[in-house]
Amino acid sequence: MNATAGPMRGVTSYGDQGFSRFLRGAFLAAAGYDGEDLSRPLVGITDLRSDYNPCHRGMGEIIENVKRGVLQGGALPMVFPTMSLGETLLSPTSMLFRNLLAMETEELIRAQPMDAVVLIGGCDKTVPAQMMAAAVSEVPVILEVTGPMITNSWQGERLGACTDCRRMWAKYRAGDIDESEVSAVKGALATTSGTCMVMGTASTMACMAEALGLMLPGGATPPSPTGARLRHATETGRRAAELAHNPVTPSQILDRAGFLNAIRVLAAIGGSTNAIVHLLAVARRAKVDITLRDFDLVAAQTPLLLDLKPSGSGYMEDFDQAGGLPTLMKELAPLLDLEHIGISGKSLGNELLDVAPPQPWQSTIRTLGKPLGPVGALAVLSGTLAPDGAVIKTSAATQALMQHTGPAIVFESSDDVAARIDDPDLVVTADHVLVLRNSGPVGAGMPESGSMAIPRKLAEQGVTDMVRVSDARMSGTSYGTVVLHCAPESAVGGPLALVRDGDLIRLDVAARRIDLLVDDVELEARRLNITRKPSAARGWLRLYQDHVLQADTGADMDFL
């Protein structure tokens, strides 16, 4: 049997390779594999099912279809578990564990015998972690996702997770719906298997996997419960078997052209700001030179083409029915590098040859001639409050607040926000700028707490948006004039640490600036009084805090 491929690839170290192969054969035989099975190349398939991850409850069916495709392609499927990151059931934030899943996936691909691997993700951090692992894999990797949920309705109003979760919760806070109504809404927001069905982080990262060429075309949008999702899974399995016979590695796919295509798509779909951090992390691992500036430059030339929440009005099933990402990329083709070759083995130009452009019967995918929104759905800022950069999703922000100067109200943590934001004695007006610190990668694992709630007393007066600034992230399903990812973060001495209540902060998106209007002498005096908190005493959090990088380079670990 071949010692560099198939089941005898990378034998266990017992000091006697013959014995190692003998022992491995014995244990594989115990699992029911015979010579015919073991003569085939192996395709690993990840299994991220967990009762702690409701978004992955449809993953079993998808795995079965991938396996069928692998067998049809003449290879042997081998399913293995990795940790599963369920966004809503992890504390303090799933982002704290993205790098851990990336490391685990990387190491299991390397340590176990496989000639190709299918990584199946879904919920927010799983696909980014798998892409980070893919970036350093020496065996072919192909991604598949669970697909989005299908929408439901409440009192005739169409609802989906989780832009509507936030919108309905805001209505409840403003007193527009009561306790029993918000309880009924809870049962109607997330009703099938799959991931959040707006252009949140999960949907965005599925689109990024497809746009980068790590997933077969058409894979980002089919909803989880549909046959189309299962057929895509089977096709993925077949392609994985081909890759096991004739390898194409991620290093052959992940180049600057591919990343620029993905960033172009990110801007055109009004994708999650989280994708910026994740793509920077993947590019860093792949040793591809991509910086925050690339996001700003590409976004500034790319109009918003997709009418999906939170930037628009539709849901992922509408996107899918309108043709999905291939149709959007067909429209975007004049702005894409069509020579880029993805995991299908074909150039993007060839992939798009038979794809129809956006059809007149639908309004979800718009045209370059009649876009949904202007260029610049995302913007990268810098200034005295974020010397290494910050981001804002302008497509989900309020136009009138894009240039705004107001006094700061500073919150030390998410707990501080929770404790004081609704305090009737809090002196706050719609002109104030809400500042949240200690919420960057080192400070708190970079939770999605940047879109702080509008103070209840202002919400009750009809205020729906305010300028908010933090070193945190926000959910891709959120909206508002929210400046995020300020780097360097406050916990490592970034300027956010120096802000005091009443300081003026100026946001000027057109000028790409976020500034603290306090003179340097005063800031230096304040700097003398800040102290850095010690790292956690033990465990993953200790390792993370000691080694995580800042948001502007992807918040990966410095040793990876």
268 binds ligand FES (CB under 6 A): no
Structure tokens that stand for 487 in this block: 């780097």
Q: 192-205 as b/e, with b when 16 or more CB fall inside 10 Å? A: bbbbbbbbbbbbbb
Which residues, numbered 215-254, are part of the site for ligand FES (CB under 6 A)? none
Which residues, numbered 68-87, are part of the site for ligand FES (CB under 6 A)? 87
Structure tokens that stand for 354 in this block: 């038979």
Q: Pick the piece of the chain touching ligand FES (CB under 6 A) from 136-144, 195-203, 220-228, 485-493.
A: 195-203
Helix (H) or strand (E) holding 110: helix 95-111
| Distance (Å, whole) CA 137 – CA 126 | 16
| Distance (Å, whole) CA 290 – CA 316 | 28
Q: Taking a C-beta distance cutoff of 8 angstroms, is the pair 468, 451 a contact? A: yes
Structure tokens that stand for 95 in this block: 């982002």
* C-beta of 65 vs 195, nearer to ligand FES: 195
* C-beta of 188 vs 352, nearer to ligand FES: 188
Q: Using N-to-C axis directions, what is the helix angle for 179-186 and 163-173, rounded to 10°?
A: 170
Nearest approach, Cβ of 83 to ligand FES (angstroms)? Answer: 15
Binding test (CB under 6 A) with ligand FES, winner from 90, 123, 276, 551: 123
| Angle subtended at Cα 362 by Cα 198 and Cα 302, rounded to the nearest 5 degrees | 65
* C-beta of 63 vs 162, nearer to ligand FES: 162
Structure tokens that stand for 43 in this block: 């395709």
* C-beta of 88 vs 367, nearer to ligand FES: 88
* C-beta of 188 vs 509, nearer to ligand FES: 188
Nearest approach, Cβ of 314 to ligand FES (angstroms)? Answer: 17
Nearest approach, Cβ of 85 to ligand FES (angstroms)? Answer: 9
How big is the site for ligand FES, counted in residues (CB under 6 A)? Answer: 11
Binding test (CB under 6 A) with ligand FES, winner from 103, 134, 202, 381: 202
| Distance (Å, whole) CA 271 – CA 279 | 12
Q: Taking a C-beta distance cutoff of 8 angstroms, is the pair 114, 189 a contact? A: no
Structure tokens that stand for 242 in this block: 């081909």
Q: Pick the piece of the chain touching ligand FES (CB under 6 A) from 193-201, 246-254, 430-438, 488-496.
A: 193-201
CA 46 to chain centroid: 18
CA dihedral 248, 254, 260, 265 (to 10 degrees): 60
Specify whether the backbone of 56 is left (phi greater than 0), alpha (psi in -120 to 50) or beta.
alpha
Nearest approach, Cβ of 95 to ligand FES (angstroms)? Answer: 13
Least Cα distance to 239 among 214, 276, 221 occurs for 214
Question: Residue 488 — φ and ψ, nearest 5°?
Answer: -70, 155
- Beta-bridge partners for 144: 120
Q: Pick the piece of the chain touching ligand FES (CB under 6 A) from 3-11, 192-200, 292-300, 369-377.
A: 192-200
Which residues, numbered 272-331, are part of the site for ligand FES (CB under 6 A)? none
Which residues, numbered 375-434, are part of the site for ligand FES (CB under 6 A)? none
Nearest approach, Cβ of 180 to ligand FES (angstroms)? Answer: 25
Nearest approach, Cβ of 54 to ligand FES (angstroms)? Answer: 7
Nearest approach, Cβ of 511 to ligand FES (angstroms)? Answer: 34
* C-beta of 48 vs 109, nearer to ligand FES: 48
In three-state secondary structure terms, 482 is strand
Q: Pick the piece of the chain touching ligand FES (CB under 6 A) from 102-110, 196-204, 399-407, 521-529.
A: 196-204
Nearest approach, Cβ of 204 to ligand FES (angstroms)? Answer: 10
CA 434 to chain centroid: 25
In three-state secondary structure terms, 392 is strand
Which residues, numbered 124-183, are part of the site for ligand FES (CB under 6 A)? 124, 161-162
Binding test (CB under 6 A) with ligand FES, winner from 42, 43, 45, 55: 55
Nearest approach, Cβ of 56 to ligand FES (angstroms)? Answer: 8
Q: Taking a C-beta distance cutoff of 8 angstroms, is the pair 448, 460 a contact? A: no
Structure tokens that stand for 389 in this block: 């950069």
Nearest approach, Cβ of 123 to ligand FES (angstroms)? Answer: 3
Q: Pick the piece of the chain touching ligand FES (CB under 6 A) from 95-103, 194-202, 392-400, 450-458.
A: 194-202
Helices assigned H by DSSP within 455-531: 456-459, 520-527
Q: Taking a C-beta distance cutoff of 8 angstroms, is the pair 358, 331 a contact? A: yes
Binding test (CB under 6 A) with ligand FES, winner from 50, 99, 195, 344: 195
Residues that bind ligand FES (CB under 6 A): 55, 87-88, 123-124, 161-162, 195-196, 200, 202
